[in-house]
Structure formats: C-alpha cells, structure tokens
Structure 1
Amino acid sequence: MSETETHIHSKAELVAHLEDGRAPDRGTWRIGSEHEKFVYHRADNSPLTYAGGDGRPGIRDVLNAFAARGWTPVTEDGNIIAAVQNGASITLEPGGQFELSGAPLENIHQTCDETSSHLRMAREIGEDLNIGFLGLGFHPTLKREDVPVMPKARYDIMRAYMPTRGTLGLDMMLRTCTVQVNLDFADEADMVEKFRVSLALQPFATALFANSPFREGRPSGFKSLRSHVWTDTDPDRTGMLGFVFEDGMGFERYVDHVLDVPMYFVRRGGRYIDAAGQSFRDFLDGRLPALPGEKPTMEDWKDHMTTLFPEVRLKTFLEMRGADGGPWSRLCALPALWVGLLYDADAQRAAWDLVRDWPLGEISALRDAVPKGGMATPFRGRAVIDWARDILDIADRGLKARGRLSASGDSEQGYLKPLWDTVENGESPAKRLLRLYDTEWAGDAARVFEAERY
C-alpha cells in the first residue's frame, strides 16, 4: 500500500466513490470502448504461450513489439503483462487474449479511429511475427486444457476458485472474448434509468453480435456460446441483477450488492493475497481473515468491483458487457448502438418507454434463451430480430440528434450499418459462420482463422 492511500472506514465512502461518477454536463460525457481477441500462430493456428520458444514468438514478444512502437510496458514479477499509451491500455486475459481498453473519447469517430489504429498495428506485428489476431466470442478449436495460462497472480487465484462456483468459469477465463463500451451518466436517477434500459436490452445486443458458434472444431449448438458460458460461471457475480429494477435502486443499493459478493484477492506490496470467498464487509470491519486487523483502501474496493461480471456493470460509469468479440466493423458498431440509445435524451426516453413494462422474469428468460436461439428467439409475441429493428431505429435517431460529424462530414449513424444488415438479411455473424462451415469450408471450422483474421 502506498503512503498516499488512506483506509476506508464506512460504507458511505464507497457510495461517495460511485457518486463521483456523476457528470451533469452532457457535454463532458465520454465513450470508452474495449475489445478482446485471440492470438495464434498462423502456421498451425496454435495459441501463443507467454514465453514462446523453439524459434516461435510468445505473448511476451507481442507486448514487446507494441512497446517498441511507442507503448509503455507494464510489468509484474519481471514479466511484461500490459502496455499503455495516451489513456489506452493493452492487457492480457487469462488465456492470453489481448484486450484493448480505449481512452475516454468524445465521439464514435474517435473511438473507431483508436480501434482501427490499434488493429493496424496488431496486423503489422502479426506480419513480422507470423501470428494472427482473431475476433470471435469463443475459441473455435482449442480444448480448455490446451490453452496456455498467463503469468498473472490474480488469475491463479481465480482459476482455483472458479470451479467451486460453476462448471464453465474456466471457459470464461480462457476461451472467451468480448467487446464492450463504457458510458457516463448525469446523476443517480439517470444512472438507474440507463442501468435498467441497458440490462433489459442486453439480450438483443447478444443476438445482434452473436459470434461464437463453434466449440472444439464443431458447431456448439449456440449462436453465442460465450454468452451461455456466463450462465454457469458464478451466480454470486453474474446475471441480470434483478434488484436494479426494484424500488430503492441507487448507488447505495449497488454498493450493498458488491459488498455481498465474495472477494477474490487483495493486493499488497505488488503481491496478490488470496482472499477467495471472504467478505468485503468483514474487511471494512477489520476482520478479513487474509489481513487480520487491516482495513481496505479505495484501491481494494476498485479491485473488488472489477471481479463482478454482470451483463451491465456499474463503476463510476456503466459498462455494456453482453456482446461477443467480432469483426472490425462491429467493434465500432457496439459503441454506436449504446451511445445512440443512451446519449440522446429523446432516444433514452424512447428506449425506456419500450422496456419499462417488461417483467423481469421475461427479460431473464430471454437472456437465457438468446445464446442458443439468436435472432429467431421469440419474445412477447415477436422474434428478437423484429424487436432489434425497433431498437436500431431508436439508436439511429439518437445518433442523428447528437450530430457528431467526422472530419469528412459523416454521421455516427454509419457505424450501425453492420447491425442494419443483420436485421435486413437475418444473418448474425454466427449464422454466417455456420453457413460457411456447412458449405465452402466443408466442415472445417479451422478455416475461420484466416477468414476472420484482423
């Protein structure tokens, strides 16, 4: 613990931390985009180990290649585990998935430029090292036991604890990739409405972005296997958060929820201390078994909040977490969808009017059905694809009303095109991959590596 960190003594301080996220001036709202991708050797589609060997590059070499191009390396126990530049960061997921966490930017043109610049650099590095980067929601060929594990101490703790809470937690850690967007809110009431709207509509994003139909080289029976994996990962820290729709929802209610989620770890002096299953409430009282007599810092609280994985997550902003990793264009389409729905007052009102009378039980049932049924999933007398048209129309109007134009005069509305194409032709990314698998790929799922490489 650094000398500048102070200990937390009350729940009120935790509530105040979330309240610090309020941004009453809509002009200050920012967009933070994130995406993950698998890294593989192009010669045989095998995954990169951390260190590499036998003349083959490892994940370490990839991170060093970014560092050689101007990114600042971040190390842990002497290993490079991340790189940062201009408010953005490249980090490693447990199975070596590369994640770009973008800087908070003003419009989708900027977020898409940031993503495109990163992927162009990744492609350049890929040519140098003979590796590829693949955007899918679930690894198409690897068995769980064949995924190399990255040297990050927090993941050792999570890998030991996950199997005690569900059967698919290790799959989530090692074999999935997502794309998400992080958005601001004006005040507590705005946060609650945005939270409710985005939770209710998250299954539609899952269907539109479904892109994980394969498991170990064969069709899995799911359009979004990634989304299905979350249904049996850890019930304490995943799901649709029914309490968000209840009276009394606000910053304090969310803090109470986070306090009741068992911990994973505590960081001290660059070390991860195993606190798996222990209570942050006990930590507040100085009774954490892993650190007897010690009280938490705000950094401990921030760490703990990152170990919750619901469909929408609250920090000092809201994270939309329901979409599969996917093609380049859809990495720009996801922020366009949610910004269109939630960053224009009229669009947000229309989205809330759409979902406000939906019973929680029906929303939850839809969330569980969509990973398999995709766009054809029935909901309240219509198919998801029909609802998606209405949702896209609201988002389109929201982006038009924002009026944020690129240097060449293009509207942010253009980033929705891949989603409009999906509702027009009825083919999600997953459905397209299954069609290719059944036709020109002749049952060879490994063809996806070259077909979908960035």
Structure 2
Amino acid sequence: MGAPVGTTTSQLPDSPSTQIFDRDQAEAYVAMICFKHGPPRLHGVELEWTLHHRNDPGRPLVANDVSLALGEHAPKTINPQSTHAPLSGGSLVTVEPGGQVEISPPPFVSPAALIAAASTDASELAGLLDTYGFVVGQHGIDSHRPPMRLLCLPRYDAMQSAFDRVGPQGVHMMCSTASMQVCLDAGEGEDVARRWRAAHALGPALVALFANSPEHGGHRTGWASSRLRATLGTCPPFTSPPAPTDDPAAQWARMAMEAPVICVRGDGPSWAAPPGLTFARWVSEPGSVGRHPTYDDLDYHLTTLFPPVRPKGYLEIRYLDMQAGSGWVTPFALLSALMARPSTVDRVLDLTESTAGRWLEAAREGMADPALRHTAAQIAQLGADSLDCLDFTSAQQAQVIDDLARRVGTSSSTRRWSA
C-alpha cells in the first residue's frame, strides 16, 4: 500500500538471509519497510471471529473438524496438504491459535467495493462452517470457553511460553480474542506523523463506542472490552500505545529493537527464544543464540509485535472488538472517513485531545465513561458528516449513520449528536 520514499537498491538486503551486524542498520531497515509513504488510496480490513459448535458453543474444537469445514480454503497451519485457495471475493482464510477464523480480502481503492468483497467472503465462510455444524461468535472475546489452544505449532508454543512469563493475558489474547482490523495507507510527508497520531488518538473513544466483549468463558469480567484488556496486558509496554511523536518511523524502529524476541526459528520442535533476549541484544551478542540474526529473522520478529496500531508499510489499526453480523461495516466506514482528508485528521486531533490517553478507561468502562462518551459522540458526528467524501453507497451510509446514532444514544434524523 504505497512505496517507500527514498528507497534505493543499496539500502535493501541482498537476500532475506543477509546477516545483520549493526543495530543502526536494523533500525533503518525497520523504519523503511514499516512506513511506506504515498497518498492515501487503499483500504483494507481483516475480520476475525471466535468459532463454536452450533448446538454446544462451549464445546472444545477439534482441528481436523475445522479443517474439513474449510476444505480447500483451510490454511496450511491446520492442514499442511491444503491448497489454501482464496474465497470468491479474494480473501484468504487463516486460523488463529485458539481456533478463531479470520478473512483478509485484498485491499481496494474503493471502500464500498471492499465492503462488498468482505461481505461476500464472510457469507461464504459462514456457509462452509454451517455445513459442519459451526457458527462464528458475535463478540470480541470467547464468551463461552476459557482459552484453549487448538494449534500446537512451534510459533505458538514459543509465544505462549514467553507471554506466560508476563501473566495470564497473553494466552487469552492468543486463544480467545477476536478483533477487526482496519488497514489504511500511512500517507506522505508530514501527514504521516499526523495520521499516526490520529489513529492512536481515536483509539480510546472508538474502543468505547464499539466495545463488545464484556463476558469471557461464561463469566462477566467487569470490562466493556475484555479483548483490549487482554491485548494491552499481553506484553507491556510493547503491547501498549506509544507516546505521541513527530517521528513514528524512528520510534517504532527503536521499539522493535528493544522488544523481546519471542521466536527463534529452527529445524527443531522448539522455537523458544532465550529469556530476556531482545533483537538489539541478538545483534550485539549473537552468541546468545548461536548465530547472527538475518533480515528474515527481523521480518519475522515484527510479526510477533502486537501494539494497538501496527505499521506494516500501511497502518494496521488493531484495537477494535469484532462486531456481531455486519456490524463491522460501521467502524470500518467511520475510520475510513475520519482518516480520508488532512482537514478531517486535524479535526480528529482536536476532538480527541482530552481522551487520547484513556485506553484503560475505555476498555473498562466503555461508553459509561462520560469523557469518552462525549468524544465518541463528536467523532461519530464528524465521521457521519464525512462519509460522502468516499464512495459509500447511500444504503451503506444510511446503515452506518443509523448504527452510530444508536450507539451514541440519539436519533439518526437529528444528525447533530454532539451538541
């Protein structure tokens, strides 16, 4: 989603197996590949659901049953012999450690076209699962089962081992949570830092507005978004939102170097990293692993970082609970509209100034927090007024406006919700 500014062939590694000998070299590479500049054009979404037996939603899953239901669309992580064919709208299906299913359609310039493709694939996936007696969950965390790992692979063994040393939230994140992720271009020039700040500043108010995970494993948790609670607690401070900055690429690169290495891939069954190993330490003390890290190792390390917004050459906004049914359309459309124009981004930064740091309050209280409720109403109003700058159909706009009005507790016909 865009091309790196100032990239030259000499700045890229000769191959993924090229060794890294210098931290500055590694940081420059991370900054370059994670923040690719260009005018905002593309829109993406990833939709994840917990998976349940229709007649007994608390019953544990069996990997072979899930693989049979997905057929040729099953990922190789659950069926190594699968062709992993895309769904008809272009989405690939993935299966997460606890059996959650996820679809990732290709990005579209047109957000309306993306909604259509993702909706088609969500319906197709539901049909495949229904044939084998499965249904997808309606919440951002498994409301029926405690965390149970379905996939026993070296990556997930290493992740759980590392996260268990921190606390119980990591296994909850891995095995019980279901999020929706909105993917937008980072932007160009000075707009990148503003868009990065806005994507984070929106977080608490949007978490509150779309909190959808108050119950886990059959019990009320006392949190409006138990999913975000689990995510933030997985491996702090690296799963926490970063401090505001004018240079997000450099900040992210430093954080990646200082974050713990979760997996060291090899030929054996264990990929567990030595306790206390960071990527910076691996670069400076290769004897701790037995070899120098490579760019392929660095690329893989980046996939084990789970912040609220992850730069992947574009902005992957990860802090939203999955919604029931087609409810994901509203937060996708709202974020797309709020981030569409520089003037709207600037307005977002103004409206969210007082609540940009209220992440825990958002996860715990949701819209019961007065400050977050006020900000949420303001950004919902701004988003509703900005929908027509994109190509949403009139039906899509009406659906989004009605849903936003319901969430902020007013009438869609009023259209001045934040007064």
TM-score range, shorter chain: 0.7 to 0.9
Cross-structure match for 2:45: 33
Instruction: Please give the TM-score of this superposition, normalised by the length of structure 1.
Output: 0.78
Structure 2 residue corresponding to 1:264, chosen from 262, 265, 281: 262
Contact 1:284 1:296 in 2 (8 A): no
Indicate how the Cα distance of structure 1 residues 75 and 234 shifts in structure 2: closer, same or farther if over 3 A, else same.
Answer: closer
Provide the rounded CA distance (Å) in 1 between the counterparts of 2:248 and 2:294.
23
* Cα contact 2:50–2:141 (8 A) shared by 1: no
> What is the CA-CA distance between 1:113 and the residue it aligns to?
1.4
Change (3 A) 1:47 1:7: farther
Q: Between Structure 1 and Structure 2, how many residues are aligned? A: 393
Secondary structure (helix, strand or coil) at the match of 2:265 reads strand
Correspondence for 2:322: 325
User: Residues 174-193 of structure 1: CA distance to partner in whole angstroms, max 9, x if unpaired?
Assistant: 11111110111223532221
> Aligned to 2:18, which of 7, 14, 17?
7
Structure 1 residue corresponding to 2:61, chosen from 37, 49, 54: 49
SS in 1 for 2:38: coil
TM-superposed deviation, 1:97: 0.4
Instruction: Using the TM superposition, give the Cα deviation of residue 347 of structure 1 relative to its aligned residue in structure 2, in angstroms.
Output: 1.1
Q: CA deviation at 1:78?
A: 3.6
- TM-aligned CA distance change 1:199 to 1:73, over 3 Å: closer
Residue 253 of structure 1, CA deviation: 2.2
2:234 — aligned with what?
233
Distance 2:287 2:405 in 1: 51
Paired with 2:200 and 2:83, the residues of 1 have a C-alpha distance of 32
The reply on whether 1:375 has 2:374 as its aligned counterpart is: no
CA separation in 1, counterparts of 2:217 and 2:30? 43
CA distance in 2, matches of 1:50, 1:30: 37
Identity %: 23
Structure 2: gaps of 5 or more residues: 1-13, 412-419
Distance 1:417 1:273 in 2: 48
Letter of the 2:46 counterpart = E
Provide the residue aligned with 2:297 in structure 1: 300
Distance 1:410 1:41, change over 3 A: closer
Partners of 1:40 and 1:133 within 8 A in 2 = yes
Distance of 2:350 and 2:401 partners within structure 1: 22
Pair 1:98–1:47, CA change in 2 (3 A)? farther
Residues of 1 paired with 2:184 and 2:193: CA distance?
A: 13
Pair 1:424-2:412 in alignment = no
What SS does structure 1 have at the residue aligned with 2:264? strand
Shift of 1:107: 2.3
- Is the counterpart of residue 118 in structure 1 residue 121 in structure 2? yes
Separation in 1 of the partners of 2:113 and 2:19? 37
Hey, what's the Cα distance between the residues in 1 that align with 2:405 and 2:82? 41
Does 1:278 find its partner at 2:277?
yes
- Report how far residue 208 of structure 1 moved: 1.3
* Cα displacement (A) at 1:345: 2.1
Please tell me the residue identity of whatever aligns with 1:203.
Answer: P
Deviations 1:46-96 (A, max 9, x none): 4453444xxxxx1221232xx1xxx48535784659654676321111100
Instruction: Check whether the contact 2:77–2:95 (CA below 8 A) recurs between aligned residues.
Output: no
- Residue 206 to residue 73, structure 1, CA distance change in 2 (3 Å): closer
Aligned residues of 1:74 and 1:84 also touching (Cα < 8 A): no
Distance 1:370 1:288 in 2: 43
- Structure 1 position 294, deviation (Å): 2.5
- Between the aligned partners of 1:425 and 1:353, the Cα distance in structure 2 is 23
Q: Deviations over 1:407-428 (max 9, x none)?
A: xx656574353222211259xx
Q: Please give the alpha-carbon distance, in whole angstroms, between the structure 2 residues aligned to 1:187 and 1:271.
A: 43
Task: Please state which structure has a larger fraction of its residues in strand.
Answer: 1
Q: Which amino acid aligns with 1:208?
A: L
Worse-matched range after superposition: 327-336 or 271-280: 271-280
Which residue in the other structure is 2:247 paired with? 249
Matched, 1:22 2:23: no
* Distance in 1 of aligned mates of 2:79 and 2:133: 28
- Give the aligned partner of residue 289 of structure 1: 288
Deviations 1:385-437 (A, max 9, x none): 222121012222332223x154xx656574353222211259xxxxxxxxxxx
User: RMSD in angstroms over aligned alpha carbons?
Assistant: 2.8
Per-residue CA deviation, residues 221-266 of structure 1 (Å, 9 max, x unaligned), is: 2221112223422114211212xx14x5331221011110011113
CA contact (8 A) 2:31 2:249 kept: yes
SS of 2:106's equivalent?
Answer: coil
Structure 2 SS opposite 1:266: coil
Q: Does the aligned pair in 1 maintain the 2:140–2:227 contact within 8 Å?
A: yes
Could you tell me how far apart the structure 2 residues matched to 1:173 and 1:395 are?
32
Corresponding residue SS for 2:50: strand
Aligned to 1:182: 183
Alpha-carbon spacing, 1:126–1:22, altered in 2? closer, same or farther (3 Å): closer
Rounded to whole Å, the distance in 2 between the matches of 1:152 and 1:33 is 26
Amino acid at match of 1:7: T
Give the aligned partner of residue 163 of structure 1.
Answer: 164
Distance in 1 between residues matched to 2:85 and 2:258, nearest whole Å: 33
